[in-house]
Each structure stands twice: as C-alpha cells, then as structure tokens.
Amino acid sequence: MMKDSFQAKPLFEQLSGQEEKQAVISPTASKPNTLAIVLALLALYLIWGSTYLGIRIAIESIPPLLMMGVRFIIAGGILYLFLRIRGVPTPNRSQWLGSTAVGILLIGGGMGGVATAEQWVPSSVAAVCIATAPLWISLFAGLWGRWPVRSEWLGLCLGFIGVVLLNLGSGLWASPLGAIILLIAPVCWAFGSAWSHHLQLPSGLMASATQMLIGGVFVTIMGLILGQRITSLPTMQSLLALLYLITFGSLIAFSAYGYVLRRVRPALATSYAYVNPVVAVCLGVALAGESVTVLTVVAMVVILVGVGLISLGRVKG
C-alpha cells in the first residue's frame, strides 16, 4: 500500500500498487460520472461512519469476537470465491503468510478490539479513538526510515492532545478495561497497516479477501478461547446489524472505494477518514441515545485537524 508517500488505508481499501499509482497519475481514463462519484463518496461517508453503531447493535446478543469472526469469514469468503471465479490466481505461501500477519493485526487487534471495547464504551467515542490511527501510522513509518516531516510532527502533537482531551471529557475510563482495549486497537491497526507495505501480499482485492478470511478465523478462535459462546438465538436486531456489516460495511462500501479511487485524486478518495467520526458521533447520539460532552467534540476536532496536517505532510513529502 505504501508508495513514495505514506497513506493510511483500512483493510478494505487495499488495491494493487499498479492501480493506486494509476489513480495518482491519472484519476480516470474516461470522462468521470459526477453523480456516480458523489453517490460513491456518500456511501463511504455514511456506511463506514455507521459501522460503529452497527457493531454496537450486533453485539447486543452476539459475543463481540464471534460476531466479528462471522462477519469477516463470510465477507472474505464471498470476495475470495468471486475473485477465483473471475480467474484471479490463488496466493502463494509467502502471500498467505503476509496476509496472516496483517489480518491478525488489523482484524484481531483492530476491529476485534473495537467490538470488544464497545461492550462498555459508546460507539461514538470508539469512532473518535480509531480516528487516531493515522497518528500512529506516521510514527510506525519511522521504523522503516520514513520519519514524519515538520507538519506531520505538528499533526502528531495536536492529535495526541486530542487523545488527552478525549480521555478527560468522554468518560472513557469509566470502564478501564474498555478504555485500554480501545487505546490499543488503533495501535494494532496502525502497525499492521505500516508493516503491510513491507510484506508480500496478494495483489488487489485478493489481499483484502485473504486478510478478512484469516482475521475472521483468528478472532473466532480467540473468542472461543476466551469463553465466548452463543447460548441463545440472537435477536433479529443483532442479526440485521450483522448482515448490514457484512454486505454494506465489508462489500458495498469497499466496492465504492475502489470505484472512487480510480476516478478521483487519492486525497478526495480518502476524505472518509475525516467524515466517518462525525457521522459515527451523530448516529450514536441520534439513534442510540449516546451522550457526547463538549470536551469530546473539541477532542474530535483537534484529532481530525492533526490527521489533516499529517495527510498534508504526506502529500508534500
């Protein structure tokens, strides 16, 4: 995923290097369909922003790690079979090993951590915490010789000030275990994202499919080891939320991202990172009755400004 500049991308946004390079040089080979691009961007903003609330609803009657396991095994399986039918080759051993490392970190530590923490922490606060991932990615990039430039250091400082404000104003530490897990989750996500640039991975969508499959199996095993069991039939509300996460969150939104990246500049395609936390906070308040303090809103703004400075630094770098 990493080329000359360091771009943080969630699991479902991984395209082949050739595709991403082409998107940077020439966003589209044909005349762009403005309406389709707008609709695709709205899908990214609303769907990925709503997945935090979807997770909260799904885990009401399904254990969090088992729920994530089912979500990613099914989504990854569908995508893998689709690609194989289309003639995409099976990954080799090195690519499977690379996908295993990334899938465990992103899905196991990242998404599994979010789902686990949302047992005690509001979905809106979880979304703001995950928005700090680009801050950590900039730091981890230094492990491979790409240290932040001046504007990125400023963004990092602002972002971590936002994290402090979030800890003070959101009631995050009302559940110490949930707070610790939620603070670790973006670190796992960030390290997995940074490391993925230096591992052998399948090209294009096959990387996402294999990582979802392996990550889904991993969180399922972890859930069973930790004693999670489905002892009663999940509620219809939880099942519908799980279906939403599989279809919209893991398949439709990902396809929308691939469409957008091939037709607009990457800076616009990745603008979801600034909108998703806002959408998550609004949905949490409006639909789940979550309370958000003024300090939490201030923390979110400070974090997003920091992320914006980091992205600007990458573009100039």
Q: Please write the tens of the pLDDT for every residue from 242-264.
A: 999 999 998 888 778 767 867 87
Average pLDDT rounded to a whole number, residues 32-47: 86
Within a domain: 1: no
Q: Give the Cα separation of 251 and 257 in Å (integer).
A: 10
- Domain around 301: 31-316
* Distances in whole angstroms, Cα of residue 108 to Cα of each of 9, 66, 207, 303: 16, 11, 16, 24
150, part of any domain: yes
pTM reported for the whole predicted model: 0.83
166 is a domain residue:
yes
> Does any domain span residue 96?
yes
From CA 300, how far away is CA 163, in angstroms rounded? 8
Amino acid 16 reads S
* Structural domain count of the chain: 1
Domain for residue 8, yes or no? no
Residue 134 lies in a domain: yes
Query: What sign does the CA torsion over 258, 137, 267, 149 have?
Result: negative
For residue 241 the two structure tokens come to 């939320």
Percent of the chain with pLDDT over 70: 85
Which range of 10-19, 147-156, 220-229 scores highest in mean pLDDT? It is 220-229
The amino acid that residue 164 corresponds to is: V
- Reported as a single tens digit per residue, the pLDDT across 287-312 is 988 888 888 889 889 988 988 887 77
- Give the closest residue to 249 by CA, choosing from 281, 212, 222, 214: 212
